[in-house]
Chains A and B, each alone.
Chain A
Amino acid sequence: MTATTATAGLNRPGTWLRRRTGGLAPSGWAAVAVLAIVVLISFVGPYLIHTDPNAVDLSSAYYAPSAAHPFGQDASGRDILARLIFGGRTALIGPFLVVAASTVVGTVLALAAVWFGGWFDAVVVRVIDAIFAFPGLLLAILATALFGAGLPAAIVALSISYIPYIARVVRSAALRERSLPYVAALRVQGVRGSMISLRHILPNVASLIVANATLAFGFALIDLAALSFIGLGVQPPTADWGAMVGQGMAGILQQQPAESIYASVLIVITVGAANLLGDRLTERSEARA
């Protein structure tokens, strides 16, 4: 904070690089690069390739890679590369919606709980604990049982079950922030609680929110892929990584594991990068706190 920490920082390895790179460690930037490539391929790719991911050709089932089909063909003779590219879009949009919804709701809930305190805070904490008690996947399975299999029900259910992860972290950080004298100073000036929460407390805990949302993205991707894998998420014939792993299972028994392997590798790479970036962002926000 003062000159002492500034000089201490000079002796820390990598400080120069970190300062030049927004305080994020090199591995964090590597994760950003991986995610950027995955996002680019998934969202721009579909416009660049001319192969229909849903074109069935049963006569060429499990065909090995060829010039026309670089990654080979699946059990129905569909082009695996095209399905991976189109599948990325579904695989990424789902967790993004989950994270967006749970982050907004969780943050607002936590900030309100911290500001009003008292019984309201106690109720919010209890509700959060109650949601925490339900495994997200189980809640999503329940939702698909009630509202029918498919992405919408799964996304809504997972959004609810991810609220506690964000709300908990934001609440504890905001609680610390609220106890600082500057908040008391704003209060005695007559600044509205909503203004203090949104314009002062929120920006000061924002880096932590971003870090946790990134981590949650990885977990949500796995959960949604798992749901699609067991057939409750994305419905055929729509391409999706999780669903491809599941559909490719039959091929594994016939010595044709390509579809499952390619899709699994993409899931692992994406989730790994999201987790790595989330960890680096958490470190950065802790270093700056």
Chain B
Amino acid sequence: MSAPLLQVEGLTKSFGRGQFESLVVDGVGFELHAGGSLGIVGESGSGKTTTARMLIGLERPTAGRITLDGEDHTHPARSVKALRARGRQIQIVFQDPYTSLDRRQRIGDCLAEVLRVHFRLGRAEVGARVRELGQLVGLDERQLRALPKALSGGQRQRVAIARALAADPKIVILDEAVSALDVSIQAQILNLLADIRERKGVSYLFISHDLAVIRQITDHTIVMRHGKVVEAGPTAQVLDNPTHPYTRLLRDSVPRADWTPGAHAATEPQEQAR
């Protein structure tokens, strides 16, 4: 296989100093190939979101390396020009569809603004591209003219996806992007994402605590716990035959017909000596 699109080595982030220092991400490494879909699973506080924020340049790593398409992305971009160049490489969809849109900006204007940042387009071209993006994610003309408050959570998340795709990035990070949605809407959005991946060849970095979602949308998965990668491999293998006790616990914590919470709380694995 060719060189990976995204390569992360020894990524580390600690917050605070001295006795208050806490290691949130600890030596995380993974690769994402062009057109691939990588899942990051783990419980709350396992460092998934911090990892995403470092990849997108919202957080500065304490140590480690991020290489995207041969370019070093370890440190956040400083100039507007560099920010825009990176914006065309990697984008993010946030978890909360309610706060990830400016409540005073119409949906079409939101998409148009992003398009104008990245491309020199005339009025008509912007309008055409906005409608095209709307079609891609399933938003009609009326919804493009609406304010966010007129849209449902699922529709807003479609807007966020359209905005992330506006600059034609190679990678889209989906940070718990369907967690705030109803299960039926989740399925719609996941289908939409699978569809877009097929049509656009975009790669996903899919962060979730929901194993069913991870299974549906990713080819490879890494499992994070306390900032470390505890298990990595093809999604089916990781979820069906987990070798690490934590992955097993995660999998067994998914409620089923004969599931009792107590049994799993008791089998909480102790911190692995590594």
A118 within 8 A of partner (CB): no
User: What are the residues of chain A within 8 A of B87 when measuring CB–CB?
Assistant: 188-190
Which B32-66 residues sit within 8 Å CB-CB of chain A?
56-58
Question: Which of B94, B99, B113 touches A191 (beta carbons < 8 Å)?
Answer: B113
**Would A188 and B167 count as touching, CB distance under 8 A?**
no
Secondary structure class of chain A's binding surface, majority of residues: helix
Complex CA gap A91/B160 in Å reads 51
B149 touches A185 (CB 8 A): no
Contact partner, A189, options B58, B81, B98, B118, Cβ 8 Å: B118
Is the beta-carbon distance between A189 and B101 smaller than 8 angstroms? no
CA distance A153 to B98 in the complex (A): 48
Q: Interface stretch among B10-18, B102-110, B123-131? A: B102-110
Number of A-B contacts (CB under 8 A): 64
B117 to A181, Cβ gap below 8 A?
Answer: no
Task: Report the bound CA distance from A277 to B167 in whole Å.
Answer: 45
| Residues of chain A within 8 A of B149, CB atoms compared | 1
**Please, which residue of chain A has its CB at the minimum distance from the CB of B100?**
A181
Q: Is the CB of A188 within 8 A of B91?
A: yes
**Contact status of A185 and B92, CB under 8 A, knowing A1-B149, A192-B80, A204-B103:** yes
| A188-B56, A190-B87, A204-B102 known; A181 vs B118 contact (CB < 8 Å) | no
A26 interfacial by beta-carbon distance below 8 Å: no
Contacts of B163 in A (CB 8 A): 185, 189
B178 to chain A, nearest CB (A): 15
Are B103 and A188 within 8 A (Cβ)? Answer: no
B84 at the interface (CB under 8 A from A): yes
Tell me, yes or no, whether A134 is within 8 Å of chain B by CB.
no
Q: Taking the nearest CB of chain A, how far is it from the CB of B149, in angstroms?
A: 7
Report if B96 contacts A (CB, 8 A): yes
Instruction: Verify A187–B58 contact, CB threshold 8 A.
Output: yes
**Does residue B114 face the partner (Cβ distance < 8 Å to A)?**
yes
Bound-state CA distance A182–B128 (Å) is 24
Task: Report whether B86 and A182 are in contact in the complex, using a CB–CB cutoff of 8 Å.
Answer: no
Interchain CB contact under 8 A, A204 and B100: no
Q: Mark A172-196, 1 if CB is under 8 A from B, else 0.
A: 0000000011101111111110000
Residues of B within 8 A of A187 (CB): 58, 83
A190 and B87 CA atoms in complex are apart in Å by: 6
By a CB distance below 8 angstroms, the chain A residues around B167 are: 189
Contacting residues, chain A, for B99 (C-beta < 8 A): 180-182
The answer to whether B105 and A200 touch across the interface, beta carbons within 8 angstroms, is yes
Q: Which residues of B contact A204 (CB under 8 A)?
A: 102-104
With contacts A188-B91, A189-B167, A191-B117 taken as known, whether A181 is within 8 angstroms of B96 at the C-beta atoms is yes
Interface assignment of A9: CB less than 8 Å from any CB of chain B: no
**B27 CB, nearest partner CB in chain A, Å:** 25
A243 and B28 alpha carbons, distance in the complex (Å): 73
Chain A stretch 150-189: residues in CB contact (< 8 A) with chain B: 180-182, 184-189
How far, in whole Å, are A185 and B110 apart by their CA atoms in the complex? 11
B100 near A185: Cβ-Cβ < 8 Å: yes
- The distance from the CB of A238 to the nearest CB of chain B, in whole angstroms, is 43
**For the complex, is A203 an interface residue (Cβ under 8 Å from B)?**
yes
CB contacts under 8 Å to A, within B156-179, are: 160, 163-164, 166-167
Interface residues of A (CB under 8 A from B): 1, 180-182, 184-192, 200, 203-204
User: Ordered nearest first, which 4 A-B pairs have the shortest CB separation?
Assistant: A190-B84, A190-B83, A181-B100, A181-B94
Residues of chain B whose beta carbon lies under 8 Å from any beta carbon of chain A: 56-58, 80-81, 83-87, 90-92, 94-96, 98-105, 113-114, 117-118, 149, 160, 163-164, 166-167
